[in-house]
Every structure is written in structure tokens, then in C-alpha cells.
Amino acid sequence: MSEQFEPILVGFTCNWCSYRAADLAGTARVKYPPNIRLIRLMCSGRLDPAFVMKALAEGADGVLITGCHPGECHYLEQNYKALRRFLLLRRTLEQMGIEPGRIKLVWASAAEGVKLAHEINTMVEEVRAMGPLNWPKRWESNGFHATVKEQEQEVTA
Amino acid sequence: MQKISIDPITRLEGHGKIDIFLDEEGNVANTYFQIPELRGFERFCVGRPVEEMPLLTNRICGVCPEAHHMAAAKAADAVYKVDPPPTAKKLRELLYSGFFFTDHTTHFYALAGPDFVMGPDAPVAQRNILGVIHKVGLEIGGKVIQARKFGHKIVEIIGGRKIHPCTSIPGGLTKGITEEERKEIEEMGRWGVEFALFSLKLFNDIVLGNKEYVDLILGDIYTHRTYSIGLVDERNRVNFYDGMASVVDPEGERLGKYATPEYVDWIAEHVEPWTYLKFPYLKKVGWKGFVDGMDSGVYFSTPLARLNAADGMATPLAQEQYQKFYETLGGKPVHQRLATHWARLIEVLYAAERIVELSTDPEITGRDFHRVPTETPTEGVGTVEAPRGHLTHHYKTDERGILTEVNLIVGTTNNYAPISMSIKKAAENLIKKGKVVTEPMLNMVEMAFRAYDPCFGCAAHTLPGQMPLKITIRDAKGETVEVVKQYCE
Amino acid sequence: MSANGKPKFAMYWAASCGGCEIAVLNTGEKILDVDANFDVVFWPVAMDAKYKDVEAMPDKSILLTLFNGGIRNQENEAMAHLLRRKSQILVAFGSCACEGCIPGLANLSTTEQIFDAVYDSITTDNPQNYRPQYQTKVPEGDIHIPKFYPVLRTLDQVIDVDYYMPGCPPESHQIAEVIDLVIQVIHGQASLPPAGSVIGAGNSTVCDECPRQRNVKTIKGFQRIQDIAELDPDLCLLEQGIPCNGPATRSGCGALCPQAGAQCIGCYGPAEGVVDYGARLMSAFASVIDSNDPAEIEQILDQLPDPAGQFYRFNLAGSLLRAAKPVWKQ
Ligand code: SF4
Ligand code: SF4
Ligand code: SF4
Ligand code: FES
């Protein structure tokens, strides 16, 4: 690979804290790389592990999940639930050969724009070092269709 | 050289493909029996918790999931060095007897029966269970359905499900049975004994009463002098669930008995690149190729082999039949492979009698059906007799009971070499120069291995059912002259 | 319609254990209904069948085909395409065809690893270190076996599927209901469910059918079933710490396993509306764990030693990711 590999990250952010932090980073002109696509959730507790897997299956090289600091979730303990889901998911994905570093959970309050930008920067570099995940390509390279079947969007609490 | 492929083989539980090569004269030069499938349980069970094996390996074969369930449960017991309480062992054997009863009955009436009852050269459309019903009477159809129901019911009561039972765990079972359930099982068992005797009488009348069939059974076409293997109890009587493995040579002398964890010293598996399935043989004798006799390690493992490997049956009525069997066929061991159908019916009777014995055992409704393992898990072997042969599961685990190595030698696999030999011999006898290969003739080839009740679903750890049959006839230059297919490539 | 005026029926297995076929045969008298209402043209387990006859049939001439088994090799794939061409309604029948089932766990291993485990096992005598060859030159000529694919695929990853019938195998009473429905449709007494539907199963979860009592209690750890001296016969297994897959699994079996004292292992596949079975189950397990402390959570999770197997036991091939990364390494 002669050209530098530009990883694609998907970020699932909580509306009340990290999404604002990212916003803040933007307005304060704190730089974070364009490699990340942010998707806003109302709370990290809304994060379904299926979202992460769908992102990976459709070409993301890594997924960053962010939420309010412990004790600060607007929906009480939902971010702890997110923590447990994340730990479980990371173990499962590791068994499937996906490096644990490709998914990360970060707590960031609305005021922590700089911290969030830094976390994103770090993760982009870490994933760059791991190389592409290339999930859809892996299918195609075996002569199989890569499209993930369209299914109805799951509605979770 | 001409090549005839039989693909798929019908009324066999699994995919299979036979290539028969003819020489310039049109005689059989060689035959290859190929198993086209593999699923890889030995690999993908690694990493799983050992207590899941009775559930995962069920899915090796939906025809005999009970056999895998039991072998896996026994191997898992061994991994934890835990001895299940008597009630648990008896319940497992009771479930297993119910399964054997049903499975053997199905084979006789639906798979093998058509050849005998209808005759090997009856039209294809009649050579099935419906043909049998038409000929023997509607009543028999009802009885066969009943027999299937009863066996499945017993499996369901103890195993929780009809297909792919779920209750065996390391150290025993997750549930026991109630007095009502016991009674129900006992009644089914008693009916089963009558049904088995009826089936034996049917065999006696239709088959043994017909000189043509008797000649066919006793004829050289379907004879192979190989070693026999089977589990026996401490008095050397046939046992399906437990015991030592007994090996008897082609002359009928016992080569030895071994505790099943020693199977690695006795059994090895030969590999050929043209098939997914391996060929087990007796390590002590050695692999000499697809040949019979004392010097060839090829053995077989079927109802007939089990009868040969034992000294008798553990239940009274079955023992009577056992004696009659050997008296009629000229003493032990019997090598005429078509006699397997008779041997199978004797096992049906034994299974039914065993159901009655176990269901009337005072311990069977006991509440002590599980013992918690206390030892650190390491390694274990579990062996049972599957209807289609000796079945071995061998597991190694880490100290958490997570599998690190899995070795499986599955029922039908044991018979892969002898089946291949039987096919070749039948083909040699039936396909002679100048003679056109007709459909009934190919069915006679199939009869050769249908006697083994092969289930290559099991063996290739793939599926059952009817087998592929494709006949490609090639001339000496390898050009295809004619193709006859029964389905699937 | 065939000469006798009856619509045509077919059933086929690909990489299957045959349990699905047995489950159909176990419907007993229902088989006679099938026989009475259909012209059974192709059903290898039950009748002598000719492949060339299927090939010769006009396209779409089979009204109903039940297809069980996953797509493990070249031959399975060819049969899937052939039967799709010949059938009007094609049902992915059973867990293998719907979602890959247990054999789909092979998607965590490479072909090489699978072949090594099988052809280099402790009892294998293989001095030449043979691996299966798709074509072998024997003295008399060439012989072939179908190519083994790097992954096991579900039926709908290979062809279009009209309906899904889950279960490993589908329970016989469910099969009987589906047969009845189809017969009613033939006689114009009912209409078909919308294309793509799941048939012969429920719309909720195994938990909803399970008679065990749930108290919405959380747990401090998971337990292995063999380590429990006495199970509470009435209490939810998950609440007793046993990793039961009921919360994510589609209803339909009547909660057979939990009623027999064993955990649901998930054979009916994802419940209605679930995008990814494992994801739903992870969410369910995460909700039941009683801890907010990362270190303690990790300790509890250590008691689930095989998460990929636990969450994708039947569903790996049908999951969003469908296989493990190393499987794709060329
Ligand atoms: S779904 Fe289950 S019963 Fe059906 S073929 Fe697959 S493993 Fe066998
Ligand atoms: S988790 Fe299992 S035991 Fe508990 S209610 Fe659901 S199915 Fe029943
Ligand atoms: S309880 Fe679960 S594993 Fe058992 S039959 Fe029902 S769906 Fe399948
Ligand atoms: S509201 Fe931010 S994590 Fe719940």
C-alpha cells in the first residue's frame, strides 16, 4: 500500500453530551480528522450492538461510541447499560477476528470538545495502523455478493 | 474405459456418489464410492463449552441425533470424570432404546423393506414404503407409523424434544420422569415387543420363506469376510449404551476387548484425496486396501457386526432369536451382509424388551438424576452403538471445560471401507461384458450397501435421505457415451 | 399443474442434517394430505427421484418447494439455483436454510483449519498429508467431488427466497399448520401471507411462551448448567444465571427446552423485527447483569466463555457480519 490508508470511522454520539462536545469542537475550531462520520443518538443507551455491526459490515474500519460520564446520563443509568453492551460486543467481535481497538467507548461531557477531538485523532491513527477492515470486499474477493440484505429498521427502547 | 457413475444413491440417508469404471471388454475395472460433503464439526466445536456438545453434535445427523447426544454426554461426563447417578444412566439408556426401536423399524420398513417385499426388480415407482403398504396391507402402514410415534414419544418425554433432544448434561440429565410418564413408556414398550415379534414373523414368512431371497442372502455377491466390532456388557452381550468394545476376527475368534478410551490404540483412519470421508480400520491389523480377510484391518460395525462381536443378547426373547439366527445361517460369524436386515430386527426386539425392563426399574422415576462435577475438566471419550455403527466422541478441554480438540468417528464412517468393497463386488457380479446396465441391476448394487443402513449425513457430518445416483458411461477414450442421472450432480 | 391436475411439490436438502426431513415425515397423517393434494415430483428422502426430470420440467412448474440445509459447497449452490428456477414458491425450511444453523459456526474457521482438524486428527493415518481434491486422477480416469466453499451461506444469500420457516428442526405441529394453509390456498380458501414472511412460527419470543416465572431480577454472575446442584423448576433460567437465549429467540416451539430444564439455545432464530440475533441477545444479557463497575462486569463476562458461540450459535451465517475476519484472508 503506497498511498496512506484513510480509515473510515463511524461515531455514535449521545445527543446531550458528546454530540454537543463534537459541535463545540467544530465551533471552537478544534481540529478533528474528517475520517469520522457522526450519528446522533438520544442517549448511548439507545446504542444497539446491531448498529455497530451494520457499520462494520458496510465498510467502516472502526466504530467510536460516546456517552455522558457515569452518573450524568440524562436517562439515569442508560450509559451503564451501554457500557455492558459494549464490553460484551467487544469480546464477541474479538472472537470473530476483529481487533478490540476497532471499537471504542469514550465518555465526554458537552464541555469536553477538546478531549473528544483528541480521542478521535488517536483512534484514527490506531485504526490506520491496523489497516483496513474491508468487510464487504472480503465477501467479493470470494466471489460472493457483498450486499447486506435490507431489513426493516429495528425499533428499540 | 467406460465410467458409470451412480449419483445419488437412493433411499440412503446421505449424499453419495459411485463411479464404476469398465474396461475395454465392458467388465468392471474399479469402483469409487465418494462422499461429496463435509461440514467440519471437529473444527468448529473447538472453542465451545463442553456441555454444549450434546446439543451441537445433535446437528451432525437428524436421523440419529440421539446417538450423538448420548456419545457427547458420555464424553462430557468423562471430561469431568463424573459418574452420573444410576437413575440418570438408566433414563439415558431408556431414551436410547426408544430411539433404536424407532430408527431400526423405519429402516426396515421404509428403506430396506421395499427391496425384499417388492423384490429388487420391481418398478422404481413401487419400490418404496407405499408399495410395501399396498402389498402387505394397510394395517402394516398404521403399525409402522405407530412404532415411529412411540419411539419419538419416549425420546420426547426424556429428551425434551422429538428431534435433537436437549436434556443430557455433564453428570446426568436436567430432568427426570414422573410415574405417569413411566407408565406410558412401559405400555409403549410392551406394544413394541409385540410389534418386533410381528416384524420378525413377517421377515420369516416373506424372506426366509422365499428360496430366491434366501439364495440371494446366502450367495457370494453380498458376502465379505471382515472383522466385526461392537459394544458388549460384562457378560459379552450386545449393549447399545455402554460397555467395552469387542473385536472379533473373520473366523469368529475374539481379537480382544478394550475400554473405549483406548480406541486410539485400536482404530486409525486412512485418507484418500478423492473423497471427504476417511476410512477407519483396525490399527493392530493395518490398512491393506479395500480387501477382506484376516490380514486386512477393514472391519464393519452394523447390527450384524454387533451380533458377531457379542456372545448373545441380554434379553430373553432376543436371545432366542439370536440363537435361531446363527443356527439358520450356519454358525458364527455371519458374513452375508444382507443378513444384516434380520439382525436389525433382532435388535428391534432387544430394544423393545429393554424399554420394558428399564421402565419397570424402581430407580427410573428417581429424583437423583444429576451429579455436579467437581473435578477439573481435561479429556474424555464417549462411545455408544449408533444404529449404523460404533460412535466415538473424543474431547480435550482446557481447565474451564472449553474444547481444544475434538475427534469424531461416526457410525457409518466405520463401514465406509466395507461398503466400498461390497459395492465393487456387487458391481463385478452384476455388470458383465456385453450386458446393458439396467436400472434393477444398479438397484442390486445399491442393495449391497443399503444393508449397512449407511447414513452419510452422519458420516460426512452432512445430511441423510436418499442418495444421488448418476450413471456416466464412458468409453475407453474417456468419452461420455451415456448419462443416466437420478438427481443432482 | 401436472397431468393429474394436482400442483407439484418438491423437498430438497443441501448441507443439512436431515432432521428437517424427519420432522416433515413425523407429521404422520399430514404426509397423506400432501400426497392427496400434491403431485410429489421430487423428494429424495421419501422417493426415488430423477434429477434429469427436474431439469426437464418447465420453469416455475413446481408450485411449492421446501428447501432445507445451508449452502456449503458447489453442489448445494447448483441445486438452489435449479430449484429456484423450477419453483413458484420456494421456502427456506429450517434453521440451516434460514440462518446457517450450527454448521454456520464453521464461518469462524478457515477451510485450511477445518481440513487440518479433520485430516490431521489424532486417529488419522495420513502420511501423504492428503486434503480433499476436487478432481483426482485415478488409474482408470478422473473423478470429482464438489468444491468446498470458504463459508457456509444461508439460502437467501444465494437465491431469492419467498418464505422462511425457522426451527432446528421446525416443530411438526407447525409444519402441519403450514401444510394445511397451503392446501387451503390451493383450494382458494385462504390467501398466501406477504412475500418474505416468516411462516410456521410465532411473532414474539420464547420467553413469552415460557411458563417459567420472571421477576425482572438482575444477576451477579452466569453459571454453567452442570454446576448447579438443584435448579429451581419454576424460575426463569436466566435469572438463575444460566445463559438462556429465550429473550432474542422467535416463539413457535412452545418453549420446549426451558420446560425440560435446559436453556433455550436459540434454534428458532431471531424474534420478529430483530435485525441481528446476537445483537439483540447481547442487549438482553447486558440488561440483566447487575453491575456498573467495568472491572466487575468483565469478571462476570468471563463466566460467558464463548460469546460468539453463545450469541450466534444458530445465526452466524445469517448475522450482519456472517463470518469471521480470518476466514476471508486469502
Ligand atoms: S435446521 Fe436443524 S434439523 Fe434442519 S437440517 Fe439444519 S441442523 Fe438439521
Ligand atoms: S430466559 Fe429462558 S427460562 Fe427465562 S423466561 Fe426466557 S425462555 Fe424462559
Ligand atoms: S426452546 Fe429454544 S432451542 Fe429449544 S426448541 Fe424452542 S427455540 Fe429451539
Ligand atoms: S444521555 Fe448521554 S449517555 Fe445517556
Per-residue pLDDT tens over the stretch B280-316: 999 999 999 999 999 999 999 999 999 999 999 999 9
Contacts 24+ apart (CB under 8 A), B1-4: B1/B29, B1/B474, B1/B475, B1/B476, B1/B478, B1/C140, B1/C141, B2/B26, B2/B473, B2/B474, B2/B475, B2/B476, B2/B481, B3/B472, B3/B473, B3/B474, B3/B478, B3/C140, B3/C141, B4/B431, B4/B437, B4/B471, B4/B472, B4/B473
Whether pLDDT at A120 is above 50: yes
Residue boundaries of the structural domains of chain C: 8-103+150-186, 110-149, 206-327
Measuring CA to CA, which residue among B68, B302, B98, B58 is closest to residue C18? Answer: B58
Residue B62 and residue C21 in contact, taking contact as beta carbons nearer than 8 Å: yes
Q: How far is the CA of A9 from the centre of ligand 4 (A)?
A: 21
Q: Is the CB–ligand 2 distance for residue C200 below 6 Å?
A: no
pLDDT digits (tens, 9 = 90+) for C94-130: 999 999 999 999 999 999 999 999 999 999 999 999 9
Whether pLDDT at C230 is above 90: no
Whether pLDDT at B481 is above 50: no
Residue boundaries of the structural domains of chain A: 9-156
Return the exposure string of C286-312: e unless at least 16 CB atoms fall within 10 Å of the residue's CB, then b. bebbebeeeeebeebbeebbbbbbbbb
- Kindly give the pairing relationship between strand C8-13 and strand C39-42: parallel
Residue B444 and residue B119 in contact, taking contact as beta carbons nearer than 8 Å: no
CATH code linked to domain C8-103+150-186: 3.40.50.700
- 3 state SS of B346: helix
Find chains touching chain B: ≥3 CB pairs under 8 Å. C
Q: How far apart are CA B95 and CA C184, in angstroms?
A: 38
Q: Indicate the top mutation candidate among C205, C238, C249 to test ligand 3's pocket, ranked by most ligand atoms within 8 A of CB.
A: C249
The grid coordinates listed for C94 are: 429450517
Residue B17 C-beta-side C-alpha neighbours within 13 Å = 27
Which of A112-116, A140-144, B371-375, C27-31 has the highest mean predicted lDDT (pLDDT)? B371-375
Q: How far apart are CA B12 and CA B61, in angstroms?
A: 13
Residue B154 C-beta-side C-alpha neighbours within 13 Å = 35
Window from B30-39, B82-91, B374-383, C186-195 with minimum mean pLDDT: B30-39
Residue C124 and residue B287 in contact, taking contact as beta carbons nearer than 8 Å: no
Q: Which amino acid is at C181?
A: L
Examine the predicted complex and report whether its ipTM is higher than 0.90: yes
pLDDT digits (tens, 9 = 90+) for B451-464: 776 654 433 332 22
Mutate to test the interface with B, among C79, C102, C119, C316 (most CBs of B within 10 A): C102
pLDDT at A136: 83
pLDDT digits (tens, 9 = 90+) for B344-403: 999 999 999 999 999 999 999 999 999 999 999 999 999 999 998 999 999 999 999 999
Residues of A in contact with C276 (CB under 8 A): 49-50, 53-54
Mutate to test the interface with C, among B2, B37, B148 (most CBs of C within 10 A): B37
Going across the sheet that includes B267-270, the strands are B279-282, B267-270, C124-125
- Kindly give the pairing relationship between strand B28-34 and strand B168-169: unpaired
pTM comes to 0.93
Q: Is CATH 3.40.50 what the domain over A9-156 is classified as, yes or no?
A: yes
Greatest extent of chain A over all pairs of C-alpha atoms, in Å: 49
Domains contained in chain B, CATH given: 2-36+430-486 (no CATH), 41-425 (1.10.645.10)
pLDDT at B21: 84
Q: Quickly list H helices, B410-455.
A: 416-430, 439-450
pLDDT at B214: 83
Cβ neighbours for B394, distance < 8 A, ≥ 6 positions apart? B75, B263, B264, B379, B380, B381, B382, B405, B406, B407, B408, C122
User: Nearest by CB to C260, which of B19, B62, B160?
Assistant: B160
Return the exposure string of B129-140: e unless at least 16 CB atoms fall within 10 Å of the residue's CB, then b. bbbbbebbeeeb
pLDDT digits (tens, 9 = 90+) for B253-271: 999 999 999 999 999 999 9
